[in-house]
Structures are given as C-alpha cells and as structure tokens.
Structure 1
Amino acid sequence: MILVLLGYLYENGIDKFVGDFEECYRKCVERQKIKYKGHICLDVETRWNSTYLMLDAAFKHKMAFVELEFYDTKYANELGKGIGLASYEDWEYVGSILPFLRIFYEATLRISGNSYVTSNIYMLEVVGIWNGINHLLKSNATSSATYKMAEKTRKKYEKYWGEPNKFNILLLIIVVLDPRYKMGYMNWAINQLFDPEKTNDGWVLKSRLDTSLKLLFDEYRSQNRGAENDTQQTHVEVPNYKHDPYGQNKFLQTIRLTSLNKYELQKYLEEEIGETTLNILHWWKMNSCRFPILSNIAQELLVMPVSTIAYEYAFSMGGRVFDPYRSYLSQQKVEALICTQDWLKDTHSPSLLDYYFEEL
C-alpha cells in the first residue's frame, strides 16, 4: 500500500498539487520534528534497490504522512477515491520488511563497488545473506509477513546455492587466498551453509575446495618451473661426471625445489590469519617473495569483478540525471532531460553543441 501510495503521489499528487501539497507536507515534517533531512524518492521499476530506498525514506516520514491526512483534505480526498490512505497495518508491514530488504541492499552495495577488490567478498555476502535469512526465520512468528517473505527467499536461495556443485569454486579459493580468512573460515562457513548433522554436502564441498586449490597450485607451479627452466637454459653448466657420475646432486636439487613449492602452500595455510583491516592487494605485494606461486594466483583471481553494475553505470545516462541528490524529479522530467541531452549530442553543429553544454 505504501509503495502504491507514493507512486500515486508522484504520478497524480505532487505534479497536480505542487504548491499546496509541498507546503503542507513541509509543515507536517517540521511539526513532527523529523530529523531525517532526505526526501521521499521515486521507485524505479528496473532497479529493485530503489524500492528499499523509497520505503526507507517514507517510513522515516511516517508521522508526517499520518498528520498530512488531517491537514491536507485534497490529498486525503484524492487518495480516498482510488487506493485509499495508508493504514496502521500498512506502516507496520513496511517496518517489518525493511530489515529484510536492507540485507540485500547493503550486500549489493558492497559487491558492486569499483574502488576496491570485490571478488574476495562475494562468498562472504552469500554466507551473510544466508545467516540473515535464518535470523529472520528464527526471530519472527510463522504467521508474520516477514517470516513468509524470508521462507520464500530461503527457497530461492537454495535454488542457486543449495547444492555443492552449484558453487563457483574459484570464488571459494579467492576467500582462502584472503589472509584474513583462509581455509579455517571457509570450513566454518560451509558448515553454516550445510549443517553437518543433517547432510554430507558440506564435506563434499570442502573436499572439492581442497582438491581444486591443490590442482590450481600445481598448475601455476608447473608454469613457474617452466619459466625457471627457460631462464636456466641461458646458463647451461656441463655436469661434472667425475664427481657426480650417478646424478645424485641433480636429483637432490629437484627434490629440494619440489619440497619448497609444496611447503609454500602449507606454510601459508598454517600461518595465523591477518588483521581485519589489512589491504589484501598490499599484503600480497609485500609477501610475493615469500609466496611467489600463490601471489601469482592471487594476482590473477583478485582482479575479477563479480558484478557488472559499475560498468553498466558508466554507460548509464539515467544514473547521471536521477541520483540520490536529485531524486525528486518526476518520470516525465527525467525522460525529458535524457532525451534533450541525447538530441544535443546528435547535433551536427559542434559550435552549437559546445554552447548548449556550457549553458547547462
């Protein structure tokens, strides 16, 4: 109801009663001494996160909307003709689902960042969402709207991450290569996702993770060894047959090199986890000499973005027109601004184009 109410206001209310409504609404906000300085914002159908932002802003102005029903008769009459005014139950429902929507909203913000590494936090968000869903299921009555929504989301969650073979194993390996978590955290997280007392899926995923990590390490080790052999070919030493007729020294060098490479992975996993505030890229840069093979793996895996939002936003014209600082625009005004800018860019006269952009 609240969502429909706000949509109705934007389509029929604010544009129609722009003078009286805004003035009366502002007075209601002042009388209720609402400290939140943001405005109610418009919901965008193609961006589900905007639903949370709209409901969050509206809920913070709850008392202003309640008082507005008594001070603005035109607002009450217009809504009364159609969808009706928001009831106490409507506001209670919004308040109950906001914590649930906030879980996904904050997770989306973290994995869609473009100024830091995101590949190592994807699985952390998957675990965090699962824990959040379980918390809501345990802390709400089975008949509540929040419980029913959480139960539906749990089924949707299990559709994508409910089985061991549905996980991208590289995303798990990246968490292991994060010195703040390593294998200990991943084993704990897998137990959270798959209860070891109910299923052996957790054991299957742990085994798959351990095997894949060792295979990946062996693959990079062979590449590194090939590069070393190419370098050594430029400095070929003729073996002294008289002092080493059976090649024992060469054999011992090969065994020592293999042991050092195996010890690198074991040493990294057995070391204590790092501080929670460390910069993962800086850490691997500073420790590349200690873990040369693992640092090569981390270097190539950490650059993978787990979301295309940052790239889509870079080419989004609407994102530059409709942002948190200009969220009060109606759909018609947003469309007019985007179309006008598109027409100006298509102008064949360079001098006229530059003039219009300077004026804007």
Structure 2
Amino acid sequence: MATSMMEKFQKYWSDFNLTLAIAVVFDPRYKLHFIEWSYKKVYGENNNKFRKVDKLLDSTFQEYVNVHDGSSTTSNFASSSNASKFVEKTSDDTRRFYEVKSKLLDFDDFESTKFVTNKKSELKLYLEEPRMERTMELDVLAFWRANQFRYPILARMARDFLTIPISTVASVYI
C-alpha cells in the first residue's frame, strides 16, 4: 500500500511541482527561499532541480513582459515613420518642427525599449525585497491586487498562477 501511495505521490509531484513552486514564489512570506529549502530537503543538498524552477520563473516572466509590453514600441515606430513622410510636404520651419518631433519620437522608441528592459528587473526587485513575516495572516491575491501598480507584470503572473486549480481529481459538471 505504501509503495502504491509513493508512486501516486511521485506522479503527482513530477507533473505539478514546477507550477506549484512558482505559485509559492508569489507568496511574499516565502518567495524563492522556501523553494530552495524544500528542494534541498526533498532532493538533497547537491541537486540542480532548484535551478530549473529559477530558470522557468525567469523565462515565464520574460514571456509575460513580451506579451504584455510588446505593443508600445510598434505604435511609436509607426508614428515616427508617418512624421518623416509628412516632413517632405512642408515649409522649412515646419520641417524643422517635424524633424525635432521625429527625433523625440525616436527618443520615445528608445525610452519604451529601455522601459521593457527595466521590466526584467521587476522580478529581481520583488525577490530581493525582504520576505514578510511567515506567521502573519495574508491573502496573497489581495497582496498582488494592492501591488499591481508597483509590479504590473508580476501581478498578472501571480493572478494566473495562483488561480490554477491543481488536483488529480477529475472535474464533474452537474
């Protein structure tokens, strides 16, 4: 009976451990610290399973950045192209104005690119902050709702990961 239970546990754990681990990271009382501790307990001191979680977290965060922030640079580029086409049909003063505007739009493109790059540090900023007291009562979804302006991409990730129903029981529709 114990062997059968262990097999079921291993199947369950191997299927869902990365998703569960990332969900735990979004609890500000635990973050990656708890994952590192528990993986050392389960897999031993010298294992590389923790690095898989860390890599998956980084790559998933980068996908969220690309999906949720990729559109801003495209619109600025289109505006810049339209402004430079319009310059050809204007007087010298107006042309200078549109050249300056075009340069500012180029700066806007640069700024939006820099902004997307800075988003990468959003995850690091969160992880580097001190953890909250472990024993405090906390509604994790309410925490992310309150911090959605501070960490917009992470708040989206937290909402998505924390609402995944994880169960081996089949859903029954009535």
Q: Same fold (TM over 0.5)?
A: yes
Query: 1:60-209 maps to which residues of 2 (within 5 A)?
Result: 152=2, 156-157=5-6, 160-161=9-10, 167-196=16-45, 200=46, 202=47, 204-209=48-53
Query: In the alignment, which residue of structure 1 is the partner of 2:162?
Result: 302
The alignment yields a C-alpha RMSD, in angstroms, of: 3.6
1:177 positional shift? 1.3
1:217-240 Cα deviation digits (max 9, x unpaired): 11111111134457x56x946375
Query: In the alignment, which residue of structure 2 is the partner of 1:263?
Result: 121
1:278 positional shift? 0.8
Q: Which structure dedicates a bigger proportion of its chain to helix? A: 2
1:285-340 Cα deviation digits (max 9, x unpaired): 1000011111111111211112376955x85xxxxxxxxxxxxxxxxxxxxxxxxx
Greater RCO (Cα-Cα under 8 Å, separation 6 or more): 2
Alpha carbons of 1:170 and 1:309: their partners in 2 closer, same or farther (altered >3 Å)? closer
In our comparison, the structure showing a higher alpha carbon Rg is 1
* Residue 123 (structure 2) pairs with residue 274 (structure 1): no
Alpha carbons of 1:182 and 1:248: their partners in 2 closer, same or farther (altered >3 Å)? same
1:262 positional shift? 1.2
Specify the SS of the correspondent of 2:132. Answer: coil
Specify the SS of the correspondent of 2:99. Answer: coil
Query: 1:277-296 maps to which residues of 2 (within 5 A)?
Result: 277-296=137-156
Runs of 4+ more than 4 Å apart: 164-167, 242-245, 308-312
1:71-111 Cα deviation digits (max 9, x unpaired): xxxxxxxxxxxxxxxxxxxxxxxxxxxxxxxxxxxxxxxxx
Q: Distance in 1 between matches of 2:141 and 2:16?
A: 24
Q: Distance in 2 between matches of 1:228 and 1:301?
A: 25
1:271 positional shift? 1.1
Alpha carbons of 1:310 and 1:167: their partners in 2 closer, same or farther (altered >3 Å)? closer
1:264 positional shift? 0.6
The alignment covers a number of residue pairs equal to 155
Gapped regions of structure 2 (runs ≥ 5): 85-97
Q: Distance in 2 between matches of 1:265 and 1:228?
A: 21
Normalising by structure 1, we get a TM-score of: 0.37
Q: Give percent identity, aligned residues only.
A: 29
Alpha carbons of 1:227 and 1:259: their partners in 2 closer, same or farther (altered >3 Å)? closer
* Residue 59 (structure 2) pairs with residue 218 (structure 1): no
Gapped regions of structure 1 (runs ≥ 5): 1-148, 316-360
Q: Distance in 2 between matches of 1:217 and 1:179?
A: 17
